Each structure stands twice: as C-alpha cells, then as structure tokens.
Amino acid sequence: MSEKTLEVPVKGMDCAECVAHVQHAIAALPGVQSVEVFLSSEKAVLRLDPARVSITQIRAAVASAGYSVPEPAETTSTEAMSAGFTRSILSLFGVVFGAILLIVIAGEGLGLFESITTSIPAPLGYLLVLIAAYPTFLNVLRAAMKRQVISHTLMSIGVIAALVVGQWVTAAIVVFFMRMGDYAERFTTERSRRALKNLTAMAPQTARIERNGQEYEVPIAELQIGETVIIRPGEKIPVDGEVIAGQATINQATITGESMPVETGVGSKVFAATFAELGSLRVRATHVGADTTFGKVIRLVEEAEAHRADVQRIADKFSAYFLPVVAFIALLTFLISRNPLSTAAVLVVACSCSLALATPIAMLASIGAAAKIGLLIKGGKYIEALARADVVLIDKTGTLTLGRPELTDVITLNGVPENEILALAASAERYSEHPLAEAVRTEARRRNIALYEPQAFEAVPGFGVRAQINGSSISVGSRRLLTQPLAVSVDLEAQGKTALFVQKDGEVVGVMGASDTVRSEIPQAIAALRKLGIKEISILTGDNERVASALAQKLGVNYRANLLPEDKIAIVKEYQAQGHIVVMVGDGVNDAPALAQSNVGIAMGAAGTDVALEAAHVALMREDWMLVPEAFHIARRTMRVVKTNIAFTAIYNLLGLTLAAFGILPPILAAAAQSLPDLGILANSSRLLRHR
Ligand code: ADP
Ligand code: MG
C-alpha cells in the first residue's frame, strides 16, 4: 500500500471547535491514516493512501462539515469575495443594530427603554433580531443537521426563548453580544494568522541568477540547486548557499534574531531571507525554497499547533462536557424556577469558546515572541515540559565547547612521518561532519598536505571513522576504536585533550591531540539554570573520562564519560523512568536520537544543520547559550498565563451560571458578560508578545 502526505488549505475555520469538526470529517474517510488540522495556517495535513481517497472526496467531506477547500485558484474568485462581502454587510448590520440598542438600554433608567419598546412595533423588532442573528442561526442549524452542538447552539436557544416570551429587546442585545464574541474570537485567530503571514512574507520571491554568463531574474520556484545566484548590496538572499565570490556584511536577524551583522567571504554559508547590508556576493545554491533553513522554520512554526500541550487536551475534553452540563443546568433552572428569562440567561452566559482559546492563544503568542529572538519552539507540548523540567543533560563536543577543536599535537609511532599520519587521517576524515574531523582537515590544509581519495568510508558514531585508502584500512578515533591494545602510553588526555588514534591495517601509527574551547557564556548560563532551581545538570560525552571530569569540575556539574550515542539515549530514559522531566541540550552530531528521546531536546546552532533542526524540539538559531535559561523563563511565564487564563474562565463561567440560574443576572447582562472572557484572555496572553 502506498502512502503520501497531502496538504490542503481549509477556509472558514474561526474557532478552536472548527478544527475538531474538520478533523473528524476528514478522518472518517477511508484511506486516510491520519490528519492534523491547523487553525492559524488554515490547512489540514493528511497521511493518506492516494489509491483509496481523492481530493474531491476530501473537499466534499470538508464541505459537509461546513467549511471549504478552495480550488487552487479560487481563493480570490469573485464568488468568494461577494460571499465575504454579504457576510460582512450582515455582520456590520448586527453591530450597528446592537450598538443602537445598547444606547437605548443605557437610557433604560431614564425610561427610554419603555418608550422604545412601545414605539418600535414588535413585528419589526422581531424581524431585526432575526436578520442580525441569521449568520449565527445558520451555523447552529448546519451543525445541528450533523447532530453537532456548537458553542452558539445554547445561546441561540436562549435568543429564541427570549423571543417566545416577547422580550425582543433582550433577544436583540443577546444577539449583539454573541456577534461581538464572534468578532473577538475571529480577531484573535486572525492575529496569530497574520503573525504567520508576516513571517512567510519575509521569504524572497525572486532571485537573480547567472546562466551561461547571462543574468536572469527568476521566480524562486524555478531555482535549481548548484546554480550561481548574484546578490547586490541591500538585497535579500534568496537561497541557502556557499559564497563563491565577493564579500558582504550580512544581517541574519530573520533567522537568528541577532541583529549584529556578520562578515562573510568566500566559503561562508549564507541563509535565505537574510540580507546583504553592504557588499555583493556570488553564491552557489545548496538549498532552495522549502528546503532552506528559513523554509523549514516557517513549516515548523506552522505545524507547532500539532504538538498540543496536555493542558490544552484537558481543556478540549472539558469543553466537550461543558455544553451538556450547561444544558442540564438550564433545564433544572426552568423546572425549578419556571422562569424563562433565568433559563435564557443560563443559556447565554456560558461559552466554552473562551476555554478552548485559553491555551492556544498563550502558546502561539509565546512561540511567536520566542522565534523573534532566535528560539524556535516546535509546540505547546514542549513549553509545558520546559516549565516542569528538573534535569538538564548537556552534550560536550559542539555544545558546551565551540565545536571548533584545534589539532594541537601529532605524535608519530613506528617511524611513520608526521605529515603522512596527518595525510592518512585527514583523508579518512574527508567526508565526516564531526567537529574533530574538521580539526584534522584544517591542520592538514594548514600544512599544505595533499589528501587521498578514500575508496570506502564509514562513520562509526561515538567512535570515529574507518576508511579504505590506497588499499590500506585506516581508522581514526577514540581509544575504543582500536582493535589492538596500545603499547605506548599517551599523556595527551591528562592535559584535558581529546586523543585521536590513527590506525593503519590494525597497527597504531600515530596519535593526535585536539583541544576545544568552552563557550564563554557557559558559566553564566549554568548559574542561571541553577537559579531557576534545576538541581541535576550533567555533561554527557563520548570523550574520555579525564577531559570530562576536568570540565565538569570547572563548571560545578556532574558528568558521564565514554558514552556511545545509544548510551546517551539510555541515560535519558533512566532519568525519565525515575519520573524526571529531561531537557537535553546537544548539537545534533551523534546526539540526535538522545535529543529526540528527551522530553525537550534543545539543539545548538540549528541554522543550516538539518539533523539538529529536525530532531530537536527547540532549536537555537543563534549560538548563544543564554537562550537556554531564556527558554525556561519563557516557558514558565507562558504556563503561568495559561493557568490564569483557565482559572479565570472557569471561575467566571461558574459565577455567571450561578447568578443566572438564581435569576440575579438578567439575560441582557448575561450576554454582555459572555463576551468578556475572550477579551480578558487576549489581553492576558498578549503580555507574552512583549519580550522581557
Ligand atoms: P560528544 O559526546 O562529546 O559530543 P561524540 O559522541 O561526538 O562526542 O564523539 C565521541 C568520541 O568519539 C570523540 O571524543 C572522539 O574520540 C571520537 N570520534 C567521534 N567521531 C570522530 C571522528 N569523525 N574523528 C575522530 N574521532 C571521532
Ligand atoms: Mg556532540
């Protein structure tokens, strides 16, 4: 059976409930394995068997749920526009009508209310209410035909109840506030949608390329990998690539959140959506379109909604029970008090909308604010885990250290010349991405040593590399890679250096020493983590015991040395089995599986490295360790806001229900009260948009 991923746009969703409706409708189709629906990016992502389900069926399923999948070019069709136009006219009508009535009600004390009720003929009043409520009634009716209850179902019953007992002014006011509630909700979702659109809008649309000595301007979609792209001063870079000529000062704030420009020259990596402030460049494209770091960031932010926090799941479940409970209370109120107005008040005062909004709005605000400072959080789930985490595990090479080790020693054994050892080692490391491999190659280049082309190459994660060179098998790596015990003792490790053993056909011919600098902000970052109350901080490294213990002691943390990538996973699992919430910080080299296993995997320097960006849950787009404690701060702040949002809505609804049931809250005030929590949540959550 074949399976593929399909993305379809979905229009018309403006509340959290809509997501569940669309999700159910699509999931019910045969051939659909899984579906995730995103409110903020207005799309559904499906895993499906293309042989069993077609786009037409999906479109029909979405339509039957009351939403639509636009035809590829339909989005701006006049039909859609006029439908939108009609809707906004009706909405406007509702607002104006309501506003007028509000003024009237304000004058109730002056007796104006009475005179209006008597001066406007009742049939006209009824008609006005029905026109204003039409869009809502339509939605409720559509849902009802599919045996669904939406948040406005009960309110609509409340409106009808008020009309039946002749209180048309009351009904009008309820409708007014119901429409206002809709606006508040649409406003909040629009806002998060716009944040996404702003992000996407930063992606360049065209590129200037050179083909056969000629310059052309082409749309991004037509770009090919390997092509030469020309960037002039002040222009946005359209691709991820390597500089082949020129020099420029580049502002990478779009990716890293860091506005200090960086100098680039031949050999530097550049990223799409960053721009050249000064200087021109010729760049060879290595990634284009959606495959660029920026393209991936956009996709990850869009899909952050899929990783819902547990609190959100609880709130969603709660919403499902909310409506039946309210209906029951309304029934009870009616049976006991026989007062249709109290009953109507109960029906209109409670709205599960705010509850559904409480978590995602705060999460979206935080994810957006964090992205701006170069901290990419892939979903609410990770914010929640970060806020509760109590163990931080740190990879050493490339994470604690700069990951740009330098080769300090080359020791020959068995009389093989130094440069020959380096030549063999650098050739074996030719295709390795490990920072140590880079150190070996750099030293060989510095000494102008020509490299051999390996016939075979194999990376042994956590050990080193093995290669076939000129008919010999060469291995370079840690002591554990040795096939024979080493006769000579080496004291490189006592100096805190990483020893790399070079073995040729089973015989150790040399040892090289490499040392790496610890990132300067580490002590400060660790102090900040301690201040946050993180008790267990430990270094996990594949390096030797001596190097690890010296470093751990200096930083005042624990360590585990001589670890293989699978040992790192096992340690993460060990902590988790003891009930700890584990944050693992790594660089994606040899530690990607451990990052994925931890509750929150944080990847350093994720700009430009695929593994780190994919495997981690939080990616640091800029190499700054202070972003780690910052991530904890953001998470804790977010959870505080989420909790106040939920508590506020729950208490508010409870209070409203009680007052309404006892007839203290008249329907008019109940309706007004109903739209307030949305605004409260919006205001409370928008605090998260402001950074520090
Ligand atoms: P860390 O856990 O500190 O990030 P790794 O797991 O990446 O370290 O590597 C562990 C050890 O394996 C290194 O200290 C080194 O001795 C050896 N090693 C791994 N990859 C290579 C390589 N490409 N070349 C040489 N040695 C390597
Ligand atoms: Mg590493």
**What pLDDT digit, counting tens, does each position of 255-268 carry?**
887 777 888 989 88
What DSSP string describes 200-242?
A: HHTS--EEEEEETTEEEEEEGGG--TT-EEEE-TTPBP-SEEE
Mean of pLDDT values over 461-484: 89
Q: State residue 513's pLDDT score.
A: 93
pLDDT tens string 208-257: 998 888 888 888 888 888 999 999 888 889 999 999 999 988 888 878 87
Using DSSP, state whether 253 is helix, strand or coil. Answer: helix
Question: Are residues 223 and 285 in contact, defined by beta-carbon separation less than 8 angstroms?
Answer: yes
Using DSSP, state whether 124 is helix, strand or coil. Answer: helix
The Å distance, Cα 420 to ligand 2 centre, comes to: 28
Question: Are residues 493 and 408 in contact, defined by beta-carbon separation less than 8 angstroms?
Answer: no
Using the predicted structure, report yes or no on whether residue 74 has a pLDDT greater than 50. no
Nearest-CA residue for ligand 1 atom 14 is 543
Band (pLDDT 50/70/90 cuts) for residue 558 is very high
Mean of pLDDT values over 352-362: 77
Q: 614: number of CA atoms within 13 Å, CB side? A: 9
493, 590, 591, 604: residue to mutate for ligand 1 pocket, most atoms within 8 A of CB: 590
The Å distance, Cα 674 to ligand 1 centre, comes to: 60
The Å distance, Cα 341 to ligand 2 centre, comes to: 68
Q: State residue 692's pLDDT score.
A: 54
Higher pLDDT pick, 675 / 549: 549
CA 333 to chain centre: 45
Residue among 474, 189, 172 nearest 348 (CA): 172
Q: 539: number of CA atoms within 13 Å, CB side? A: 30
Question: Are residues 29 and 53 in contact, defined by beta-carbon separation less than 8 angstroms?
Answer: yes
Using DSSP, state whether 666 is helix, strand or coil. Answer: coil
Tell me which ligand sits closest to the C-alpha of residue 398.
Answer: 2
Annotated catalytic residue 395: yes
pTM more than 0.95: no
Distance CA 377, CA 555 (A): 27
> Facing residues of 412 across strands?
510
Distance CA 619, CA 611 (A): 11
Residue among 511, 460, 157 nearest 331 (CA): 157
Mean pLDDT for the chain overall: 83
The Å distance, Cα 589 to ligand 2 centre, comes to: 5
Nearest-CA residue for ligand 1 atom 16 is 478
Question: Are residues 588 and 612 in contact, defined by beta-carbon separation less than 8 angstroms?
Answer: yes
Distance CA 606, CA 587 (A): 8
Give me the domains of the chain, ranges plus CATH numbers: 4-70 (3.30.70.100), 85-198+301-364+637-689 (no CATH), 224-287 (2.70.150.10), 372-401+518-632 (3.40.50.1000), 406-515 (3.40.1110.10)
Nearest-CA residue for ligand 1 atom 22 is 464
pLDDT tens string 492-535: 877 778 899 999 998 899 999 999 888 999 999 999 999 999 99
Residue 541 CA: which ligand 1 atom is closest? 2
Identity at 537, one-letter amino acid code: I
Residue 564 CA: which ligand 1 atom is closest? 6
Using the predicted structure, report yes or no on whether residue 84 has a pLDDT greater than 60. no
Nearest-CA residue for ligand 1 atom 15 is 478
Band (pLDDT 50/70/90 cuts) for residue 303 is confident
The Å distance, Cα 58 to ligand 2 centre, comes to: 45
Higher pLDDT pick, 387 / 497: 387
Mean of pLDDT values over 326-338: 90
Most confident of 293-307, 468-482, 569-583: 569-583
Using the predicted structure, report yes or no on whether residue 196 has a pLDDT greater than 70. no
Residue 47's CB is within 10 A of a number of other CB atoms, namely 14
Residue 432 CA: which ligand 1 atom is closest? 23
Higher pLDDT pick, 210 / 682: 210
User: What is the pairing mode between strands 262-264 and 406-412?
Assistant: unpaired
E strands, 85-231, are: 206-211, 214-219, 228-231
458, 478, 486: residue to mutate for ligand 1 pocket, most atoms within 8 A of CB: 478
- Percentage of residues in the chain having pLDDT higher than 70: 88
Residue 543 CA: which ligand 1 atom is closest? 14
CA distances to 17, 224, 250, 338, 608 from 268, rounded to whole Å, are 48, 20, 11, 78, 12
The Å distance, Cα 436 to ligand 1 centre, comes to: 7
CA distances to 270, 407, 519 from 436, rounded to whole Å, are 23, 8, 16
Band (pLDDT 50/70/90 cuts) for residue 82 is very low
Residue 128's CB is within 10 A of a number of other CB atoms, namely 20
> Facing residues of 539 across strands?
394, 559
Radius of gyration of the chain (CA): 32
pLDDT tens string 577-604: 999 999 999 988 778 889 989 999 999 8
Q: State residue 96's pLDDT score.
A: 61
Provide the sign of the torsion angle of the four alpha carbons 147, 151, 156, 159, taken in this order: positive
Higher pLDDT pick, 169 / 391: 391
Tell me which ligand sits closest to the C-alpha of residue 540.
Answer: 1
Band (pLDDT 50/70/90 cuts) for residue 70 is confident
CA 659 to chain centre: 41
Residue 27's CB is within 10 A of a number of other CB atoms, namely 15
Question: Are residues 674 and 348 in contact, defined by beta-carbon separation less than 8 angstroms?
Answer: yes
Tell me which ligand sits closest to the C-alpha of residue 547.
Answer: 1
Q: State residue 7's pLDDT score.
A: 78
Tell me which ligand sits closest to the C-alpha of residue 539.
Answer: 1
The Å distance, Cα 439 to ligand 2 centre, comes to: 14
CA dihedral in degrees (409, 411, 416, 422; nearest 10)? -20
Q: State residue 488's pLDDT score.
A: 64
Residue 429 CA: which ligand 1 atom is closest? 23
Mean of pLDDT values over 402-421: 90
Ligand 1 pocket residues where CB is under 6 Å: 395-398, 429, 432, 434, 436-437, 462-465, 476-478, 498, 500, 541-543, 589-590
CA distances to 208, 377, 542 from 282, rounded to whole Å, are 10, 33, 39
User: What is the pairing mode between strands 262-264 and 281-287?
Assistant: unpaired
Catalytic residue among 240, 395, 516, 678: 395
Q: State residue 20's pLDDT score.
A: 83
Nearest-CA residue for ligand 1 atom 26 is 477
Using the predicted structure, report yes or no on whether residue 85 has a pLDDT greater than 50. no
